Amino acid sequence: MSVSAVPAVPAVPAVPAAAADPSVCAPLAVLGRDVTVPLVTGGEVTYAALDYAASAPALQRVWDDVAAYAPYYGSVHRGAGYLSQLSTDLFENSRTTVAEFLDCREDDQVVFTRSTTDSLNLLAAALPAGCEVFVFETEHHASLLPWRDARVTYLDAPRTPDEAVHTLERALADRDPYGPALVCVTGASNVTGELWPVRELAAAAHAHGARIVLDAAQLAPHHPVSVQELDVDWVAFSGHKLYAPFGSGVLAGRSDWLREAAPYLAGGGASRKVARRPKEAGGGVDVEWHDTAARHEAGSPNVIGVYSIAAACKALTEAGFDDLVAREQYLIRKVREGLAEVPAVRVLSLFGDDAPRVGVISFVVDGWNSSHFAAALSAEYGIGVRDGLFCAHPLVRTLLGGEAGEPGECGAPEAAPGEKSLNAIRVSFGAGTPDEHVERFVRAVKELVADGARWNYRTEDGRCVPDTSAAA
């Protein structure tokens, strides 16, 4: 039976939109929306997951699609059996779905990886000899750190989108005009949520003979990403930010550097032909590698992870990004207006209050260590946020200006003198967030600032946690 003749996985009944349920009021249903958690002050409350920027909850539809496929699970690519052919068909169709979601060019490759970090490390391993890399210090570590074997120019944090473009143009003007070069830039900051001028940066890169890769980890879950409209050479993102389970990612874009590079991992699947070399010829093996995406997908693939990404891409596309963006902007306004009413709160920003952004907001609170504040939000209100430097240490330190809070306070991280509590709080949300979660968050911030925590907290393994031995 040919792969094309393999029937599709049985259709899963459509999951009703969460917005139809007035107790949920979110465009898309997500797992965990009904989970309750205990409060240290007594009782339980529905968990408010406001840490989407780290990992968004999986869409219910994604989970249901995967569950429908699970009984048909089989080996991929080299199996002769029915389930193997069906799984192979599902895997390769997922590649097509992702290419359509990203509006890729006809000859682009879609390579499946473990995450955005893995994708950018793959691209780093595929850089041509002598390639120069240009990256802003504002990047997440996933896009700041992989370029260890290249010549890297780190660009200072810009304070406006125009400054970002001009900074890049000046740096590129000084480079060797004949050698290969790559620009790496985020689409939306994982710290401030601000959108970067990707199309303009791509134009600047190409005008100076460089290529550009877009870190879309924080952009793709919130906005449509078109490789062709943005004119980027590659795009990378993670499934776990796109409402899919952990362990899958994508690198999509131009095939030439990927085709000419040594395989990211050596092994089965990446090799087309392997032959033993005669002893008189020195022994060993001769290998002919694939020149397709399989070249960098050695080993048995994560079929469940890949299919879940494709399912998430379909769900977001069918929900309509116009509607998703409009509602997220409504939630952003609710949070920002609420925080603006608290003088002790300072929201972090590179480009200013009017900059377009996704649902990612970081802030600090006068008189509070961020770990302590985040712990109180969780323990006393059932709200999950993140605190720290968000795997973007240079950016957060720039935004905080090296300010130090109260040293030695609960949860203050170990750092250089004067920086013991140099961290921030991040709240993030998306298509599965009901109004009540952000309303509870704003109310909790106001109450904590006005009245303080209602419980005692202590430091444990570097984290601020409730002291269950006594109340405040």
> Contact, 322 vs 165, CB < 8 A?
no
Q: Which of 104, 131, 184, 391 is catalytic?
A: 391
- The reply to whether 391 belongs to the active site is yes
Q: Are strands 345-347 and 360-365 parallel, antiparallel or unpaired?
A: antiparallel
Q: Could you tell me how far CA 225 lies from the centroid of its own chain?
A: 13
The residues carrying an active-site annotation are 391
